[in-house]
Amino acid sequence: MFTISIEKKNLTIMLIANFLVAASATMVLPFLSLYIETFGSFSHEYVQRWSGFVFGITFLTAFFISPLWGRIGDRYGYKPILLITGYGIALSIFFMGFMNSVWGLFFLRMIMGAVTGFIPTSMALISAQTPKKEAGRTLGTLQMGTVSGGLFGPVIGGLLADNVGFSYTFIFTSIAIATAATFVLFGINEQRNQEQKDRRNHYTRKQVLQHIFEHKLLVTVILLSFLIQVANFSIQPLLALYVDELTSSTNLAFLAGIAFSATGFGNLLATRQWGKLGDDIGYEKVLSILLVLASIFIIPQALAEELWQLVLFRFLFGIAIGGMIPCVTAYIRQEAPLRMQGEVLGYNQSFRFLGNVVGPAFGGIVSGYIGISSVFYVTGALFLGAFGLLWWSIRHSESSRHVNQDY
């Protein structure tokens, strides 16, 4: 009974902490380009170019660093990593509020990328204390904190920037993240068994990579994380422009925010239920269903003639993609030994970060050549391609299992 209460307390604290971190991390994103404009008299092209660099460098740095945080977490515990990344992100964002040059902001965003690992580490922490048969539902519940934070963060950030200015918004953001890390410091009780503590049982990096490549379905799931992020992020930077094509209203920013938020609301409502279904029928099966649904719900967005149609299908699309992350994480929990789980999740997170970088660039290139609406079609094809890859991997995995049983 005591162990269960610790698990529930840890889940509740991490749910709140992930909300604060996700909300804070997205609070500053809507006005990064506007903040750069305050550094001097720059051309529109210069601001656009550096906005992309400043946005992307965080994810590019995190791509290389994430497996390292996972590996350290496997060896020494996930709580220390949560504290390092939480307070590290808070400090980097705090100093952003005092920047007066593009290079300084770029450097701090790079530092932020190096310590970006709070949310994936929280997934590893909760996953490690959760029985495999309940992983989908529990991780889906945890994901609700991240999704809701990402949903409300841009709105809160915009309101703060309008009322107290950019510098104070960075400061308030850093305080919120430091508060989340402090919750972890005093509230989280990490339970590690003797097998996890014994360093002789830990895997080398070569053994971890060997385990991944020996499990073809595990490789596929990690690649899916990349494709999902590419598909999801390819349209996000263009959504405001697309909303502008559908409406003549002067409240463009507000209406674009509604279109963004619709996906988040769909995520929030469905993520726990998809995880629970994965517990019951298998995470790879649920992922297959979600990839097909995502491709179905993204195509009508290209055909929308009114804003309400776009918002409706963004909401349905959000329901589909809401279960992908918890199902991927739960599958890794199922297939990776506990002593290497953090590092495997780190590799998975790295490919998600890489998708965050590739997606906007990919969407920009496609829209530049054949228009914004075409990005929806290409994205739908990406989801279908991801489904085909997963289906092939499942069939290949099942046939290999049958061959081994015959021998």
Q: Which two tokens stand for residue 364?
A: 């920009």
Neighbour count for residue 175 (Cβ, 10 Å): 14
Whether residue 261 sits in one domain with residue 224: yes
Q: Is residue 194 part of a domain?
A: no
Evaluate if residue 59 carries a pLDDT over 80.
Answer: yes
Tell me the per-residue pLDDT of 233-247, one tens digit each, with 9 for 90 and over: 787 767 767 777 887
Distance between CA atoms of residues 60 and 53, nearest Å: 10
Amino acid at 22: A
Distance between CA atoms of residues 13 and 180, nearest Å: 9
Find the mean pLDDT for residues 362-387: 85
Evaluate if residue 6 carries a pLDDT over 50.
Answer: yes
Whether residue 251 sits in one domain with residue 179: no
Whether residue 206 sits in one domain with residue 178: no
Whether residue 175 sits in one domain with residue 229: no
Report how many domains make up the chain.
Answer: 2
Its domain, for residue 143, covers: 1-187
Evaluate if residue 182 carries a pLDDT over 90.
Answer: yes
Distance between CA atoms of residues 399 and 391, nearest Å: 12
Residues ≥6 apart with Cβ < 8 Å to 36: 42, 47, 50, 51, 54, 102, 105
Quote the radius of gyration of the chain (alpha carbons, Å): 21
Whether residue 216 sits in one domain with residue 145: no
Evaluate if residue 153 carries a pLDDT over 90.
Answer: no
Residue 43 contacts residue 174 (beta carbons within 8 Å): no
Whether residue 253 sits in one domain with residue 124: no
Which of 117-121, 210-214, 252-256 has the lowest average pLDDT? 252-256
Residue 115 buriedness (CB in 10 A; 0-12 / 13-18 / 19+)? buried
Find the mean pLDDT for residues 170-191: 90
The pLDDT-based confidence of 290 (bands split at 50, 70, 90) is: very high
Query: Which uninterrupted H or E stretch holds 282?
Result: none
Residues ≥6 apart with Cβ < 8 Å to 118: 17, 18, 21, 82, 85, 86, 89, 180, 181
What letter does residue 130 receive in the DSSP assignment?
Answer: S
**Percent of the chain, pLDDT > 70?**
90
Q: Is residue 300 part of a domain?
A: yes
Find the mean pLDDT for residues 327-344: 81
Distance between CA atoms of residues 225 and 352, nearest Å: 5
Query: Which uninterrupted H or E stretch holds 249?
Result: none
Residue in 268, 276, 277, 14 with CA at minimum distance from that of residue 126: 14
Domain boundary among 129, 154, 187: 187
pTM higher than the cut 0.85: no
DSSP string, 144-171: HHHHHHHHHHHHHHHHHHHHH-HHHHHH
Query: Which uninterrupted H or E stretch holds 238?
Result: none
- pLDDT value at residue 1: 42
What letter does residue 184 receive in the DSSP assignment?
Answer: H
Q: Is residue 192 part of a domain?
A: no
Long-range contacts of range 199-204, CB-CB < 8 Å, 24 or more positions apart?
199/75, 201/339, 202/74, 202/75, 202/339, 202/340, 203/74, 203/337, 203/339, 203/340, 203/343
CATH number at residue 251: 1.20.1250.20
Sign of CA dihedral 170, 145, 66, 3: positive
Distance between CA atoms of residues 92 and 105, nearest Å: 10
Place of tokens 């750069």: 36
Find the mean pLDDT for residues 245-263: 72
Distance between CA atoms of residues 212 and 9, nearest Å: 32
Coil, strand, or helix at residue 176? helix
Whether residue 115 sits in one domain with residue 238: no
Distance between CA atoms of residues 64 and 294, nearest Å: 29
